Amino acid sequence: MIKDKELKDILKTRFTQAAHAMWGKDLTDLTKNESYQSLSRVIRQYISENWVKTNKYYLDHKEKQVYYFSIEFLLGRLLNSNLINMNFKQICEEAFKELNMDLNVILDEEPDAGLGNGGLGRLAACFIDSMAALGLPGHGCGIRYKYGLFEQKIVNNYQVEIPDNWLKEGFAWEFRKTDKAIEVRFEGNAYMEKQKNGKLKAIHKDYTSVTAIPYDVPIVGYRNKTVNTLRLWNAEVNKDFSDYGLLSHEQQQAKMHYKHNVQKITKYLYPDDSSYEGRRLRLIQEYFFVSAGLQSIVRHYRKKGMKLVDFADNIAIHINDTHPAVGVAELMRILIDEADMEWAEAWKITVGTMAYTNHTILPEALEKWPIDMFKSLLPRIYMIIEEINRRLLDDVRERYDDDEHMIQELSILQDGQVHMARLAVVGSHSVNGVAQIHSDILKSHTMHDFNTYYPGKFNNKTNGITHRRWLIGANPELAALIDDAISTKWHKRPERLIDLLKYSKDKAFTSQVEKIKSKRKQDLAKYIKEHNNLVVDPNSIFDIQIKRIHSYKRQIMNLLHIMDLYNRLKENPKLDIVPHTFIFGGKAAPGYHVAKETIKLINTVAELVNNDKSIHNKIKIVFMENYGVSLGEILFPAADISEQISTASKEASGTGNMKFMMNGAITLGTLDGANVEISQAVGPENCVIFGLRAEEVLNYYASGSYSVWDVYNNNSRVRTVLEQLVNGYFVNENEEFRDLYDYLLNSNDEFFVLKDFEAYAKAHLEIVKKYQNRSAWLTSSVINIAHSGKFSSDRTIEEYARDIWKINPVLIP
């Protein structure tokens, strides 16, 4: 064992050496960014040692491996989490102190790897973190986008999107592996041809070839020696490209055109959570990374000398939402066309290997591709899907006596479209939802007929978050307080957080919790002063809603309630309310008009309210620019109230709710997604639940018996705030909030904002009352932290490993 002192000296030496090698500079000359890059280089070298060992172990011991395919990995920063996982954080802090440098300043230099939109991408990042922490042989497979999710600026109260050039200083954690390149084929003609031996063989001709180059990112386990791999694919021109020779003008033009098209493939992340435009390119992205990923897995598998017939026993592949669903057909192609396998055997292996997670029941988000587009882009894959579907429908007809309803509901090809969710369900042995209520709705509504057809295939795996990033990393003082109380056992076994229950009424403990919360609120107030030039009172209630801006998440309801509160305060300036800071953050998809108007409205109301001296700072409204993982790490620890107010049945799980809970905030929410399980865990005294239940919402949709005008006509407070959107209340606004007004009324309030308004306002009164009883509030806060262990992604991943993937932890020596 290396002693701490020795390790510290080695770190300092290596850091100095890195500064020399990378920048030709002495430490005193380094810029902050150069310091960041030098330290990353040192840590990268340490990581590589265990990475090589882990890979060798996996190779020698032929452990079953799982590959998590996701079109998004919203990683955020990695240096801090790597230091924590390697147990280097403290020693590094000390080393830098001795060098007269501040580690936190250096950590702040790292750009976020924003290769995802929101919850789905962040989930994938938490999952690979947990796999490594648990010592599971599990890897990620995705896309190396040149530009991550756009950077959001607020200009004149509007969202403006700036390209996220996150690679401009290089990405410290990636390893380019040109020797592991893969060819991916698009377009051309595919057909079956009889061979000499009489068997049919698929021929694919005149295709466009794209080279996929992997960039590997090591994923460091928590205080073990496991280092797994996140493989991100980059699209490049094929190897013949540089073979110039004598080309006509047209040939040169074609070549340039080809190059341009190839470079487009991995250039941008689609900045949309749930509905897609520029659709063909998106399909290209999907097939590109899935084909590259699967080909490289099969190639590596065969190189190990293992037999393809045993593939499903040794490899598990997970499809995160429908974006990688084309993998079902691609694995069939590889097994049949490249490995000469018979259909039946290939199908058994494919279904045995694949598992699928559904992430949403929003109908506009279920991916479908026009058959014409699909067929011309992926002719051989389309043939395979036709055959999968033919065999499926033959069986459906036989089992259900030609029942047309069943055929329509199950057919992968329907109404001129390829239904990707259906392909994923048919081609997988497991389909899971992401919270109990979501999985139940999948079975009873969205995929009811599939559940009848495939009994037992559907199951639930409630989402989780890595407590290492969201508590140990984001709130180290709170983590240290917890360590003092219940030891560090919960780091490896987060369910041990439950041991905090016995401190929930311990004054000495809860007052420390309060003090730490207050510090985090002061930190946030300082950030708000610096970034928004706004003074907020850290003693006010910090009430936070941070997530993508979406109608179903109902930021508008939050805002209409604030407008109502402001109206009441204007009517009665003596109204005794607890000073309240309402904080919003979140990006709107660039083409999503209602979401962008919502941001404009939040900022417009904020301007009005924040500058109104007559209300004596009782209400402040803040819109935090550019919400992402790193900003979240500042916001979650500073929250008193966690706003989780989606229309019941619409939020599949939510994971922001878990990050708040783990940092001691109290949930103000609907019975939607994982809020249901959070409220069950902490009990009704320790959260505030309001509004329509999922069943009620689904019944209203089915019966059509809700009318927004009933609420409008009968609730004058609702009517007042709605009218304020259009009656000139906001001067100089050119009536633009009429779009929101019309949207709510003309869509018959599709997400029940008006319907739930009254209940929401009451819930606010209730939670503020709770807040005023300080000792009861702090008890609730501790009870929330104590029960948050269940919502660690370690628990989630243990369930996936045990029930779906059938893989075991491996101890790397």
Annotated catalytic residues are: 359, 547-548, 553, 655, 659
d(CA 308, CA 524) in angstroms, rounded, equals 54
Residue 794 beta carbon to ligand PLP: minimum distance, rounded to whole angstroms = 16
Residue 117 beta carbon to ligand PLP: minimum distance, rounded to whole angstroms = 8
Residue 271 beta carbon to ligand PLP: minimum distance, rounded to whole angstroms = 13
Residue 170 beta carbon to ligand PLP: minimum distance, rounded to whole angstroms = 23
* CB contact at 8 A, 562 and 609: yes
Q: Which is nearer to ligand PLP, 221 or 654 (CB)?
A: 654
Residue 122 beta carbon to ligand PLP: minimum distance, rounded to whole angstroms = 4
Residue 628 beta carbon to ligand PLP: minimum distance, rounded to whole angstroms = 5
| Residue 319 neighbours by CB under 8 Å, 6+ apart | 69, 325, 327, 328, 354, 355, 356, 357, 424, 428
**Sign of the dihedral through C-alpha 365, 371, 373, 379:** positive
* CB contact at 8 A, 500 and 690: no
Q: Which is nearer to ligand PLP, 214 or 628 (CB)?
A: 628
d(CA 457, CA 492) in angstroms, rounded, equals 31
Beta bridge partners of 459: 432
Helices (DSSP H) in 400-494: which residue ranges? Answer: 404-410, 420-426, 436-441, 448-453, 467, 476-486, 489-492
Residue 637 beta carbon to ligand PLP: minimum distance, rounded to whole angstroms = 13
Q: Which is nearer to ligand PLP, 324 or 628 (CB)?
A: 628
Q: Which is nearer to ligand PLP, 540 or 630 (CB)?
A: 630
Q: Which is nearer to ligand PLP, 135 or 656 (CB)?
A: 656
Helices (DSSP H) in 427-539: which residue ranges? Answer: 436-441, 448-453, 467, 476-486, 489-492, 507-532
d(CA 229, CA 55) in angstroms, rounded, equals 9
| Residue 17 neighbours by CB under 8 Å, 6+ apart | none
Phi/psi-derived region of residue 405, left when phi > 0, alpha when psi is between -120 and 50, beta in every other case: alpha
Using Cβ positions, the residue closest to ligand PLP within the complex turns out to be 656
Residues that bind ligand PLP (CB under 6 A): 118-119, 122, 547, 628-629, 632, 654-656, 659
d(CA 528, CA 263) in angstroms, rounded, equals 39
Beta bridge partners of 162: 151
Residues found in the chain: 813
148-155 and 73-76 strand pairing: unpaired
Residue 622 beta carbon to ligand PLP: minimum distance, rounded to whole angstroms = 17
Q: Which is nearer to ligand PLP, 149 or 560 (CB)?
A: 149
* CB contact at 8 A, 192 and 102: no
Using CA atoms, how far residue 349 sits from 341, 346, 458, 523, 631, in Å, is 10, 5, 19, 53, 43
Q: Which is nearer to ligand PLP, 27 or 365 (CB)?
A: 365
208-220 and 175-176 strand pairing: antiparallel
Q: Which is nearer to ligand PLP, 475 or 655 (CB)?
A: 655
Nearest to 367 by CA among 292, 425, 448: 425
Q: Which is nearer to ligand PLP, 615 or 629 (CB)?
A: 629
Residue 121 beta carbon to ligand PLP: minimum distance, rounded to whole angstroms = 8
Residue 27 beta carbon to ligand PLP: minimum distance, rounded to whole angstroms = 34
Nearest to 791 by CA among 625, 674, 701, 682: 674
Query: How far out from the chain centre does Cα 752 lie?
Result: 26
Q: Which is nearer to ligand PLP, 44 or 547 (CB)?
A: 547
* CB contact at 8 A, 407 and 355: no
**HEC readout, 632-681:** HHHHHHHCCEEEECCCCCCCCCCCHHHHHHHCCCEEEECCCCCHHHHHHH
Question: Could you identify the residue written with the tokens 């490995």?
Answer: 339
